[in-house]
Amino acid sequence: VSTTGVAGPGGGTETKPVGLVYVGVAYAAPWGTEDSFVRSERFRLDGDRAAVKQQSADAALDSLARAIREVDAER
């Protein structure tokens, strides 16, 4: 699981505004299978720095939970 983005209050630009966050999730399946995957999601979050960081963490955990459910469903 990974996150990157601009939490603020400064650092934002026109192309990378404050609140722009990406969340990535990768799964390495057992060798010899083709079930591995990498996903990324883009979010535009509102609020101050603390709110953006909290929402980023929530989004990352939600993405991870969805990936775990998907892997479990395939077993």
| Sequence-ordered strand ranges (E) for the chain | 2-5, 20-27, 37-44
Q: How many CB atoms lie within 10 A of CB 51?
A: 14
| Fold type of domain 2-74 | Maf protein (3.90.950)
Domain parsing of the chain, residue ranges? 2-74
Answer whether residue 20 shows pLDDT above 90: yes
Q: pTM of the full predicted structure?
A: 0.90
21-49 pLDDT, tens per residue?
999 999 999 998 989 999 999 999 999 99
Answer whether residue 59 shows pLDDT above 80: yes
- Residue 57, classed as helix, strand or coil, is helix
Answer whether residue 75 shows pLDDT above 90: no
**Cα separation values, 5 from 22, 25, 34, 55, 73, Å:** 6, 15, 30, 12, 31
